[in-house]
Amino acid sequence: MPDITLDESSAAAPDPKASPEEVSRRGFIARAGLGAVGVCYAGAVAYPVYRYLAAPAQQAAELAAVTEVKIPEEKMPAPGGALMFRFGSRPTMLIHHKDGTMVCLTAVCTHLGCTVQYQPEQEHIHCACHGGVYDARTGANISGPPPKPLQRFNVERANGEILITRV
């Protein structure tokens, strides 16, 4: 019967010829590499979570910082049309009704935040996501899932500009 001998020289075993200083250097490099991988992994997990949590607060701060938007009159939509622009970071629409009145409303649906569209034929604002409908003159939610009216803005014409401000 042959003798079974265990091979004690494996990659993980310390090199018996290595000096104690070399062994500790190898250990340090291994730990540093493991630490760097750990830091990268933690960053890859934490950064998207941070962005997800910080986004609403950042958007609210950006929106609060903007108090008015000026639009040159030459960009005014024709009667029966609407101009989309941004009030801060929010899509907003300036509607020029056929009777000459102008209404400015946020273009963000109060249901789940889709961007809404003006439909001049019906004098409605429609949300394609779930069929929400708003009144194009008041922004009132009139059918579908939206729980609240669209936010309104003041509209003034002066000195060749249209001034949009918060109500």
Q: Among 71, 136, 146, 153, which residue interacts with ligand FES (rule: CB under 6 A)? A: 146
Shortest distance in whole angstroms from residue 112 CB to ligand FES: 4
In this structure, what token pair is assigned to residue 109?
């649906």
Give the DSSP per-residue string, 87-155: ETTEEEEEEE-TTS-EEEEE-B-TTT-PBPEEETTTTEEEETTTTEEEETTT--EEESS--SPPPEEEE
- Where does this chain touch ligand FES (CB under 6 A) — which range of 40-48, 87-95, 129-137, 158-166? 129-137
| Interface size with ligand FES, residues (CB under 6 A) | 11
DSSP structural state of residue 12: S
- Where does this chain touch ligand FES (CB under 6 A) — which range of 21-29, 70-78, 109-117, 150-158? 109-117
From residue 53 to residue 92, what is the string marking binding to ligand FES with x (rule CB under 6 A)? ----------------------------------------
**Distance between alpha carbon 91 and the CA centroid of its chain, in Å?**
12
Cα–Cα distance between 47 and 37 in angstroms, integer? 15
Closer of 114 and 163 to ligand FES (Cβ): 114
Q: Please, where are the H alpha helices in the chain?
A: 20-65
- Where does this chain touch ligand FES (CB under 6 A) — which range of 10-18, 82-90, 93-101, 127-135? 127-135
Cα–Cα distance between 109 and 102 in angstroms, integer? 20
Q: Which residues contact ligand FES by CB under 6 A?
A: 109, 111-112, 114, 127, 129-130, 132, 144-146
